């Protein structure tokens, strides 16, 4: 049995039809099973707006495992369980929670805390250049993608795959580097994403398709980003 995830877009009780929006990877997996010509039976588990989703929980535990395998840290990385307890404790401390209050379980946890916990793990991973077993853009909630985009710009890693080296890529209007010298323009207020060479080339094949596929909006360059990339900010 393979666990797949989808967001309900439309319900038609009269016809008994449910329309789902699924990730490209999960959809390809479903198509592979469907190609066997065997009748497919799906088990649907509905989650409310407050409890952590199975997808969130799966992603969080994958990140914890990646951090443990990396062995980047202190003695708390001795086991996968000690790694989990360390980050649970760190989250509780920085958010003013009591010891043992944070949980990823569907019974005790909630969606917003889980999103913030995932962001904390991603911040740690990108800061220490830890290789991730899953692509964040395939797993993050839509409202959390901007946080990942920002961290990639600040830490100069590709927003798609996390690889280094990578470059800041402008999105707006007459782009810097396309007839314009980045040393002569004010970069503040322009939107940008961080891309490795492979995904930079992919971007130029079809910009709109690329942005839509990876659910990117770009981040408006502020003083902090400009300083990190040594960009001009004045006239």
Q: Six-digit token pair at 61?
A: 């535990």
For strands 219-220 and 191-195, give the pairing.
antiparallel
Helix (H) or strand (E) holding 18: strand 17-22
* Per-residue model confidence (pLDDT) at position 183: 60
Q: How far apart are CA 117 and CA 57, in angstroms?
A: 10
DSSP state of 20: E
Q: How far apart are CA 196 and CA 160, in angstroms?
A: 8
Predicted confidence (pLDDT) per residue in 179-235, tens digit: 555 566 788 999 999 999 999 999 988 888 999 899 899 999 999 999 999 998 876
- Cβ neighbours of 179 (radius 10 Å): 7
Global confidence as pTM: 0.73
pLDDT bracket for residue 28 (50, 70, 90): confident
Could you give the percent of the chain with pLDDT greater than 70?
85
Q: What average pLDDT does range 99-111 have in this prediction? A: 91
- Delimit the domains of the chain by residue range: 1-46, 54-134, 163-229
Predicted confidence (pLDDT) per residue in 48-95, tens digit: 568 899 999 999 999 999 999 999 987 778 899 999 999 999 999 999
* Per-residue model confidence (pLDDT) at position 87: 96
Question: Taken in order 217, 153, 225, 118, is the CA torsion positive or negative?
Answer: positive
Could you give the percent of the chain with pLDDT greater than 90?
58
Q: How far apart are CA 185 and CA 183, in angstroms?
A: 6
Lowest mean pLDDT among 1-5, 86-90, 93-97, 156-160: 1-5
* Per-residue model confidence (pLDDT) at position 174: 45
For residues 83 and 60, the answer to whether their CB atoms sit within 8 Å is: no
């Amino acid at each position: 049995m393979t666990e797949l995830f989808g967001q309900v877009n439309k319900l038609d009780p009269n016809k008994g039809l449910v329309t789902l929006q699924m990730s490209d990877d999960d959809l390809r997996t479903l198509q592979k099973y469907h190609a066997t010509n065997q009748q497919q039976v799906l088990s649907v588990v509905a989650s409310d707006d407050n409890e952590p989703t199975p997808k969130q929980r799966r992603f969080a535990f994958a990140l914890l495992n990646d951090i443990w395998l990396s062995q980047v840290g202190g003695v708390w990385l001795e086991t996968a369980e000690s790694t989990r307890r360390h980050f649970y404790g760190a989250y509780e401390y920085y958010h003013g929670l009591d010891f043992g209050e944070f949980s990823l379980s569907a019974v005790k946890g909630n969606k917003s805390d889980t999103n913030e916990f995932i962001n904390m793990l991603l911040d740690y991973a990108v800061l220490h250049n830890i290789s991730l077993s899953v692509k964040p853009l395939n797993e993050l909630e839509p409202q959390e993608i901007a946080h990942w985009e920002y961290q990639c710009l600040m830490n100069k890693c590709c927003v798609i795959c996390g690889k280094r080296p990578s470059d800041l890529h402008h999105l707006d209007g007459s782009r810097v580097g396309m007839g314009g010298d980045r040393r002569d323009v004010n970069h503040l207020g322009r939107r940008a994403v961080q891309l490795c060479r492979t995904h930079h080339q992919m971007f130029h094949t079809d910009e709109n398709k690329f942005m839509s596929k990876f659910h990117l909006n770009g981040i408006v360059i502020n003083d902090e980003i400009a300083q990190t990339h040594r960009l001009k900010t004045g006239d």
